[in-house]
Amino acid sequence: MEYTNLGNTGIRASVAGLGCGGGSRLGQARGLSTQESVALVRVAMDLGVNYLDTAAVYGTEAIVGEAIKAVPRDEIFVATKATIRKGGDLLPVEDMIASLENSLREIDTDYVDVFQFHAVPPALYDRIREEYAPAFLREKEKGKIRHLGLTETPPNDPAGEMLIKASQDPVWEVVMLGFHMMHQVARRNCFPGTMKNGIGTAIMFVVRSIFSIPGRLEETMATLAADGKVPAWLAESDNPLGFLIHDNGGAKSVIDAAYRYARHEPGTDVILFGSGIEEHIRTNIGSILGPPLPEADVAKLEALFGHLEGVGLDLPEPRKT
User: Any idea which residues carry the catalytic annotation?
Assistant: 58
* Helix, strand, or coil (residue 304): helix
Helices of type H across 175-305 = 186-189, 191-197, 208-212, 216-226, 232-236, 254-263, 278-288, 295-305
Cα distance between residue 151 and residue 263, in whole Å: 19
Output the CA angle 305-168-135, nearest 5 degrees.
125
SS (H, E, C) 21-74: CCCCCCCHHHCCCHHHHHHHHHHHHHCCCCEEECCHHHCCHHHHHHHHHHCCHH
Cα distance between residue 7 and residue 149, in whole Å: 12
Q: Which helix (H) or strand (E) holds 99?
A: helix 93-107
